[in-house]
């Protein structure tokens, strides 16, 4: 077991800049790099920082191959909530990652069983993940590996917990009572497994905000448990965490 390297930054922007600096440094020093990518509000700032480095400093991503960590299942790729749309808007449209080097699970694949195998095999065929960039859910989920889910496995289909659903779709939550179809539309997702993540050569986790403090403290200091999927990162020898002050303030969290 090895403790992660933790950077504590003042606020969200400083977290995003530090994350960008770490990723940019790895991108610059590699001739070929396979990166796993998260979505969510935490990653928006990171992607904006990387886009700025591409625009202003000429940082090139032409040798980078990306695999997104997850995607909702059963929606079209151009659904406004899809991670295809999120990635295009926040990163792909602004940097020079070749289109053929960007991978996400296909939300409308005819067979989920075939799709999870295809995705895992594509990661293996690319040589495995060099750098897995992660966010974390307030309940400790990484990618869409929810607490108590089949966490140590490979890519699979996971069911979103109500808590994650409500946090991920704040604007849709009020519609949910009247229209259960809205909840059902984003009920499941393809996710790489914690097993896939743990095979990455390096892991970089970013987190911001007080809502993440308690779960991060447990993930880093507590036992390794499927109830907190992020706690499995304790089993990895090369984890860096970049936290803003609120996410890194564990003073009120019971040991």
The catalytic residue positions are 70, 139, 141, 146
Nearest-approach distance from CB 28 to ligand GLP, in angstroms? 25
Nearest-approach distance from CB 60 to ligand GLP, in angstroms? 26
**Does residue 137 touch ligand GLP according to CB under 6 A?**
yes
Per CB under 6 A, which region of 36-44, 53-61, 121-129, 240-248 contacts ligand GLP?
A: 36-44
**Does residue 107 touch ligand GLP according to CB under 6 A?**
no
**Does residue 70 touch ligand GLP according to CB under 6 A?**
yes
Q: By rule CB under 6 A, what count of residues binds ligand GLP?
A: 14
Least Cα distance to 138 among 85, 198, 67, 211 occurs for 211
**Does residue 51 touch ligand GLP according to CB under 6 A?**
no
Nearest-approach distance from CB 187 to ligand GLP, in angstroms? 13
Residue from 5, 32, 41, 128 in contact with ligand GLP (CB under 6 A): 41
**Does residue 82 touch ligand GLP according to CB under 6 A?**
no
Q: How far apart are CA 71 and CA 12, in angstroms?
A: 25
Q: How far apart are CA 96 and CA 255, in angstroms?
A: 44
Per CB under 6 A, which region of 38-46, 47-55, 94-102, 220-228 contacts ligand GLP?
A: 38-46
Q: How far apart are CA 153 and CA 239, in angstroms?
A: 19
**Does residue 168 touch ligand GLP according to CB under 6 A?**
yes
Residue from 66, 90, 155, 164 in contact with ligand GLP (CB under 6 A): 164
Using DSSP bridges, classify how beta strands 156-159 and 188-191 pair: parallel, antiparallel or unpaired.
Answer: antiparallel
DSSP for the chain reads --PPEEEEESSHHHHHHHHHHHHHHHHHH-SSEEEEE--SHHHHHHHHHHHHHHHHH----TTEEEEESEEESSS-TT-TT-HHHHHHHHTGGGS---GGGEE---TT-S-HHHHHHHHHHHHHHTTS-SEEEE---TTS-BTTB-TTSSTTSSSEEEEPPHHHHHHH-TTTHHHHTT-HHHHHHTSEEEE--HHHHHTSSEEEEEE-SGGGHHHHHHHHHS--BTTBGGGGGGG-S-EEEEEEHHHH--TTS--
Nearest-approach distance from CB 57 to ligand GLP, in angstroms? 25
Residue from 4, 105, 135, 154 in contact with ligand GLP (CB under 6 A): 135
Residue from 39, 155, 196, 231 in contact with ligand GLP (CB under 6 A): 39
**Does residue 40 touch ligand GLP according to CB under 6 A?**
yes
Per CB under 6 A, which region of 14-22, 32-40, 102-110, 244-252 contacts ligand GLP?
A: 32-40
Which residues are near ligand GLP by CB under 6 A?
38-42, 69-70, 135-137, 143-144, 164, 168
């Amino acid at each position: 077991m090895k403790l992660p390297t933790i950077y504590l930054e003042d606020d969200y922007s400083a977290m995003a800049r530090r994350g960008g600096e770490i990723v940019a440094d790895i991108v610059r020093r590699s001739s070929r790099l396979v990166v796993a990518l998260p979505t969510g509000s935490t990653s928006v700032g990171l992607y904006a920082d990387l886009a700025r480095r591409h625009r202003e400093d000429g940082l090139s991503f032409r040798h980078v191959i990306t695999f997104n960590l997850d995607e909702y299942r059963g929606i079209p790729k151009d659904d406004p909530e899809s991670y295809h749309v999120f990635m295009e808007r926040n990163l792909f449209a602004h940097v020079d990652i070749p289109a053929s080097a960007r991978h996400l699970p296909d939300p409308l694949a005819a067979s989920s069983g075939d799709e999870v195998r295809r995705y895992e095999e594509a990661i293996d065929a690319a040589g495995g993940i060099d750098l897995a960039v992660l966010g974390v859910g307030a309940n400790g989920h990484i990618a869409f590996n929810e607490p108590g889910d089949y966490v140590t496995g490979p890519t699979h289909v996971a069911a979103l917990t109500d808590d994650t659903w409500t946090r991920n779709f704040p604007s849709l939550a009020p519609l949910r009572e009247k229209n259960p179809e809205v909840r059902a539309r984003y009920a499941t997702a393809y996710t790489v497994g914690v097993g896939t993540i743990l095979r990455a050569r390096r892991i970089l986790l970013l987190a911001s905000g007080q809502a993440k403090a308690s779960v991060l403290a447990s993930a880093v200091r507590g036992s390794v448990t499927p109830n907190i999927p992020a706690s499995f990162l304790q089993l990895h020898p090369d984890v860096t965490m970049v936290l803003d002050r609120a996410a890194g303030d564990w003073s009120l969290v019971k040991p």
